[in-house]
Amino acid sequence: MITPSAPRRHARLLTALLGVSLLLTPDIPAKAAAVEPLPTTEIAPGVHVHQGSHHAWAAHDGEDVANIGFIVGARCVAVIDTGGSPAIGQRLKAAIERVTALPVCYVINTHMHPDHVLGNVALGAGSPGPAYVAHVRLGPSLSARAPYYLEAFRREGGQALAPDAVVYPTQTVADRASLDLGGRQLELRAWPTAHTDNDLTVFDQQTGTLFTGDLLFMGHLPVIDGQLRGWLRVVGELKALDVARAVPGHGTVSDDLRQAIGPEETYLTTVLREVRAAIKAGVPIARTLDQLSATGIAGWQLADEFHRRNLTAAYAELEWED
Amino acid sequence: MNPKRRMLISLPLLLAAGRMVHAQQAGATDPALDIDANPMWLQFRDSLFAGRPITTPADDVLRLEAPARAEDAAIVPIALRAQFPQSDSRYIRRIYLIIDNNPSPMGAVFDFTPASGRAEIETRVRVDAYTHMRAIAEMNDGKLFMSTRFVKASGGCSAPPGKDPQAALATLGRMRLRVEGEPVLNRPSLAQLMMSHPNHSGLAMDQLTRNYTPAHYVRLVRISYAGEPVLTAEVDFTISENPNFRFYFVPKGRGELKAEVLDSQSRRFEATLPVQPVSNPA
Ligand SMILES: [Zn+2]
C-alpha cells in the first residue's frame, strides 16, 4: 500500500521487531533513543497517561487511539493498556524509560480490543519479564478474534503482523485482585459483560485514580461489543465509586467520574429505550437501523463508524426480553 | 438431507484457516473480489449448477437485501425476498446463499414449497471479509436466477465471533416461535423463529490451551404447519450466534406451527405454536 506514511510505518514496524529481538539482552540505550517516546502527562504522583486520538482503530494511521497509562511504584512499574500496534507499545516503552529505570512488572489489559492490546509484545523485556494480567475471559475472546484483528490491521492499516504479535495474559482475574508495585497497591476488578465480556478496571489506591478501560467513553461514541443492559448496570456501579479521578478508555482524564460518565449513560439509555420500542412495535432489525440512524448521536465523534453497529448489537440482545 | 451439499461444504472448511488471510489481498485484480472469477464461486457453480444457465441480475425474481457495510461483523441482517407469491404452478423450490469470502461460503440452503406462501427469509449472518454475497433461486422448473450484493467487511475492532458465548451457552436451546400479527386463513403469514445457541464455528483456537473451541452450530431447521413442510434450512455457523429466521407460511385452517432444530452435536430441539387463523383481515 503506497501512502505518504508508508515509509514511516515500515520504520516503526522494523523498530518494533528489533525491539522484540533485544528482549533477551540488556537494554541498549542507542536503540531506545531511536524510538520517539509517546507523549505522556503525569496526572497524579507516579501516574502517567497518554491520551489517544479519536479515530477508528487501524483506519488512517489509527494505531494510537486508546488511552494508555503506567503507574510507578517503589519496586516496579505497571502498564495499563499498550496501544493499537507493536510500534505504539515500543514508544510506550521509551516513554516509561524516560521517567524511570525501574522494570515493568505488570502489563494489564482492560479488555481484548486491539487498540488496547497490540502493543503488549513490546513490553516483554527483562528477566523475569512482566506478568500479563487481564480478565479471565480476555484470553478466549481475544484468541477468537485475533485473526480478524490482524487481517483488519493489514487491510486498513497496511501492515502485516505475525500471529505471535498478539500477547495473551499469563495471570487472570475472575473477580478482584491486588497487585503490589512496592509500597503501592493496585486494585483490579473484573466486571460482568458490559462493553465486552472481559472488562477490567484498575484503581490506584495511593492517588485515588481509576482506570476504567472502555467502560467509560468520552467524546468517542461508546461501542457495544458485550451487553447493553450489563453495561448500564456497571455504569450505575461506577457512579457510586468514590474516586479522585478517572482515566477513560477514550477521552480526557476527569476529576469527576459521575459527571464524566453522564453522556455515555444518556447515549446507552437512549439506545436501550428506542431499540426496545422498535422491537415492541414489531419493526424488523434492518428497518430499525434506518429509523434510529441519527438517534442519540449528537455531540459524539465516530458515530458514523459505530452507531449502527451499536443498534445492531442492542437489537440482537433486547429482542430476547419478555 | 442432501449428501452432495455436505460434501461440498466440507472442502471449504478444510481450506478455511489458510485462506482467510490471502483471500482478501485487496486490489482491483484480486480474484477473491471478482464476481465472475472468485475461485470458491467457480467451484460451487461447476459442482452444483454444472452447465446450467444462471440468469443474473434477477432482482425481478429474487431480491437479496444486505447492508453495503457489515457494521457488526457478527450480526449482519440480510433478507431474501421472492418477487412473486408461491403457487403450485410457479414457485421457488430452493435458495442458495453463498458468501464468497467466508470460511464456509455456502452458509445456507433454504427449501420452500407452495405452502410457504412466499419464498422469503430474513436472518443474520457473519461476514468475515470484503465479499460478494449471492442468492441463487432454483425454480420448480429448474431455472436458476442469481442476485448479488457486495458487502464491505466491518472496521477494525468488530469480529464475527459472538459477544458473550457463555451467556449463549447457558441458555442453549431456548426457542421462541411466534406469528407476526394476526394469521389470516389461506394468506401468507409472517412468523419468526429465535433460538439461543452459540453457533460456534470451531475455527477459533484458544491460545492458552492450544485447543480449538469445538464446532457447535445449528445445521438443520425444519418448519411445518399442520404436518406439511413449509421451510427447510440447511445452515451452519455462517448464521449469527442465536439464530433468527423470519419466514412465511399459509394457514389453511387451524393447525400447529412446528420448528425442529438439529445441531452439529446431534442435539434436537423443538418448538410448537397452535395457530387459529381468522377468515378476514382485522
Ligand atoms: Zn474497547
Q: In what order do the strands lie in the sheet with A185-190?
A: A176-180, A185-190, A200-204, A209-217, A245-250
Query: Is the distance from CB of A234 to CB of A265 less than 8 angstroms?
Result: no
* pLDDT above 80 for A76: yes
Distance of CA B49 to the CA centre of its chain: 19
- pLDDT score for A61: 60
In this structure, is residue B145 part of a structural domain? yes
Cell numbers 458487502 label which residue? B151
| Centre of ligand 1 from the C-alpha of residue A66, in Å | 8
Residue of B206, B74, B202 whose CA lies nearest to A143: B206
For chain B, where are the alpha helices, taking DSSP H only?
3-22, 39-48, 165-170
Whether B157 sits inside 8 A of A156 (CB atoms) is: no
- pLDDT score for B19: 40
| Centre of ligand 1 from the C-alpha of residue A309, in Å | 13
- pLDDT score for A59: 59
In this structure, is residue B51 part of a structural domain? yes
* B242 vs A contacts (CB less than 8 Å): 316, 320
In this structure, is residue A311 part of a structural domain? no
By Cβ distance, the residue of A113, A168, A193 closest to B207 is: A168
In this structure, is residue B92 part of a structural domain? yes
- Whether the CB of A265 is below 8 Å from some CB of chain B: the reply is no
What letters, b where the CB count within 10 A reaches 16 and e where it falls short, cover A171-189? bbbeeebebebeebebebb
Residue of B236, B228, B225 whose CA lies nearest to B262: B236
Residues 22-61 of A with CB under 8 A from B: 56-59
Write the burial class of residue A239 (CB in 10 Å: 0-12 exposed, 13-18 middle, 19+ buried).
middle
Q: Where residue B170 sits, what CATH number does that domain have? A: 2.60.40.2470
Write the burial class of residue B49 (CB in 10 Å: 0-12 exposed, 13-18 middle, 19+ buried).
middle
- pLDDT score for A174: 97
Share of chain A above pLDDT 70, in %: 88
Write the burial class of residue A319 (CB in 10 Å: 0-12 exposed, 13-18 middle, 19+ buried).
buried
- pLDDT score for B6: 43
Q: Where residue A185 sits, what CATH number does that domain have? A: 3.60.15.10
By Cβ distance, the residue of A56, A143, A286 closest to B65 is: A286
**Range A262-275 average pLDDT:** 98
- Whether the CB of A249 is below 8 Å from some CB of chain B: the reply is no
Calculate the dihedral angle through the C-alpha atoms of B52, B55, B60, B62, rounding to the nearest 10 degrees.
50
In this structure, is residue B228 part of a structural domain? yes
Point out which residues pair with B275 in neighbouring strands: B255
Question: Which residue of chain A has the CA closest to B73?
Answer: A309
Secondary structure of residue A93 in the 3-state scheme: helix
Residue of A265, A266, A268, A247 whose CA lies nearest to A256: A247
- pLDDT score for A198: 98
* B122 vs A contacts (CB less than 8 Å): 284-286
Residues 86-115 of A with CB under 8 A from B: 113-115
State the smallest CA–CA distance between residue A132 and chain B in angstroms: 13
Which residues crowd ion ligand 1, with CB under 5 Å?
A 113, 214
Q: Cell triple for residue B25?
A: 489481498
In this structure, is residue A281 part of a structural domain? no
In this structure, is residue B282 part of a structural domain? no
State the smallest CA–CA distance between residue A56 and chain B in angstroms: 7
| Centre of ligand 1 from the C-alpha of residue A149, in Å | 13
Q: How confident is the model at residue A114 (pLDDT cuts 50, 70, 90)?
A: very high
Cell numbers 465479499 label which residue? B131
- pLDDT score for A21: 35
pTM equals 0.88
Q: Which domain holds residue A96?
A: 26-259
DSSP conformation letters of B27-80 = STT-GGG-TTT-HHHHHHHHHHSTT--EE-S-TTTEEEE--SB-SSTT-EEEEE
In this structure, is residue A143 part of a structural domain? yes
Q: Report the domain count for chain A.
A: 1
Query: Cis peptide before A26, with omega less than 30 degrees from 0?
Result: no
Secondary structure of residue A98 in the 3-state scheme: helix
* pLDDT above 80 for A249: yes
Could you report the predicted ipTM of this complex, rounded to two decimals? 0.89
In this structure, is residue A288 part of a structural domain? no
Whether A140 sits inside 8 A of B206 (CB atoms) is: yes
- Whether the CB of A191 is below 8 Å from some CB of chain B: the reply is no
* pLDDT above 80 for A3: no
Q: What share of chain B is helix, strand, coil (3-state, %, to 5)?
A: 15, 40, 45
Share of chain A above pLDDT 90, in %: 78
* A289 vs B contacts (CB less than 8 Å): 67, 71, 77
| Centre of ligand 1 from the C-alpha of residue A105, in Å | 24
Please report how the helices A228-239 and A303-318 are oriented relative to each other, as an axis angle in degrees rounded to 10: 110
Q: What is the DSSP letter of B101?
A: T
DSSP conformation letters of A299-316 = T-BSHHHHHHHHHHHHHH
Point out which residues pair with B98 in neighbouring strands: B106, B134
Write the burial class of residue B107 (CB in 10 Å: 0-12 exposed, 13-18 middle, 19+ buried).
buried
**Range A126-134 average pLDDT:** 91
In this structure, is residue B85 part of a structural domain? yes
| Centre of ligand 1 from the C-alpha of residue A191, in Å | 14
Q: Cell triple for residue B173?
A: 436451546
By Cβ distance, the residue of A196, A282, A319 closest to B180 is: A282
- pLDDT score for A9: 34
| Centre of ligand 1 from the C-alpha of residue A165, in Å | 19
Q: Cell triple for residue B269?
A: 430441539
* A320 vs B contacts (CB less than 8 Å): 176, 194, 196, 242
- pLDDT score for A145: 93
- Measured between alpha carbons, how far is A176 from A127 in angstroms, rounded to an integer? 27
| Centre of ligand 1 from the C-alpha of residue A121, in Å | 19
Q: Cell triple for residue A57?
A: 482503530
Please report how the helices B3-22 and A138-157 are oriented relative to each other, as an axis angle in degrees rounded to 10: 70
Q: Report the domain count for chain B.
A: 1
Question: Which residue of chain A has the CA closest to B160?
Answer: A145
Question: Which residue of chain A has the CA closest to B246?
Answer: A284
Whether B246 sits inside 8 A of A146 (CB atoms) is: no
**Range A254-277 average pLDDT:** 98
State the smallest CA–CA distance between residue B10 and chain A in angstroms: 21
| Centre of ligand 1 from the C-alpha of residue B282, in Å | 48
Distance of CA B246 to the CA centre of its chain: 11
- pLDDT score for A29: 43
Residue of B99, B164, B177, B217 whose CA lies nearest to A313: B164
State the smallest CA–CA distance between residue B64 and chain A in angstroms: 13
pLDDT values of chain B reduced to their tens digit, one per residue, 282 residues: 343 344 344 434 433 433 443 434 444 578 999 999 999 999 999 999 998 999 999 999 999 999 999 999 999 999 999 999 999 999 999 999 999 999 999 999 999 999 999 999 999 999 999 999 999 999 999 999 999 999 998 877 889 888 988 888 899 999 999 999 999 999 999 999 999 999 988 877 766 677 777 889 999 999 999 999 999 999 999 999 999 999 999 999 999 999 999 999 999 999 999 999 999 765
| Centre of ligand 1 from the C-alpha of residue B190, in Å | 38
Point out which residues pair with A180 in neighbouring strands: A185
For the beta carbon of residue A102, count every other beta carbon within 10 angstroms.
16
Cell numbers 524516560 label which residue? A98
- Measured between alpha carbons, how far is A152 from B35 in angstroms, rounded to an integer? 22
Q: Which domain holds residue B220?
A: 3-17+30-275
For the beta carbon of residue A72, count every other beta carbon within 10 angstroms.
21
Q: What is the DSSP letter of B236?
A: -
* pLDDT above 60 for A32: no
Question: Which residue of chain B has the CA closest to A172?
Answer: B208
Q: Cell triple for residue A249?
A: 478508555
In this structure, is residue A227 part of a structural domain? yes
Query: Is the distance from CB of A96 to CB of A80 less than 8 angstroms?
Result: no
- pLDDT score for B208: 66
In this structure, is residue B148 part of a structural domain? yes
- Measured between alpha carbons, how far is B78 from A197 in angstroms, rounded to an integer? 26
In this structure, is residue B46 part of a structural domain? yes
In this structure, is residue A49 part of a structural domain? yes
